[in-house]
A and B are shown apart, each in its own frame.
Chain A
Amino acid sequence: EVQLVESGGGLVQPGGSLRLSCAASGFTFSSYWMSWVRQAPGKGLEWVANIKQDGSEKYYVDSVKGRFTISRDNAKNSLYLQMNSLRAEDTAVYYCARDSPYSSSWGFDYWGQGTLVTVSS
Chain B
Amino acid sequence: DIQMTQSPSSLSASVGDRVTITCRASQGIRNDLGWYQQKPGKAPKRLIYAASSLQSGVPSRFSGSGSGTEFTLTISSLQPEDFATYYCLQHNSYPQTFGQGTKVEIK
Contact = CB atoms under 8 A, between A and B. Distances in A.
Interface stretch (B13-21, B65-73, B86-94): B86-94
Contacts of A37: 44
Interface of B: 1, 32, 34, 36, 38, 43-46, 49-50, 55, 87, 89, 91, 94-101
A105 B49 contact: no
Given A47-B89, A107-B34, A107-B89, A114 B43 contact: yes
A111 B99 CA distance: 18
Interface residues of A, number: 21
Contacts of A35: 96
A105 B91 contact: yes
Interface in A84-105: 95, 105
A61 B32 CA distance: 18
Given A107-B49, A107-B89, A47 B43 contact: no
B43 A95 contact: yes
Nearest 9 pairs of A and B residues by beta carbon: A107-B34, A111-B43, A47-B96, A61-B95, A45-B98, A105-B91, A44-B101, A59-B94, A107-B91
Interface of A: 35, 37, 44-47, 50, 59-62, 95, 105-109, 111-114
A59 B95 contact: yes
Contact of B95 (A47, A107, A113): A47
A111 B87 CA distance: 15
B87 A108 contact: no
A61 to B, nearest CB: 4
A44 B87 contact: yes
B98 to A, nearest CB: 5
Nearest to B43: A111
A26 B77 CA distance: 34
A50 B93 CA distance: 12
A47 B46 contact: no
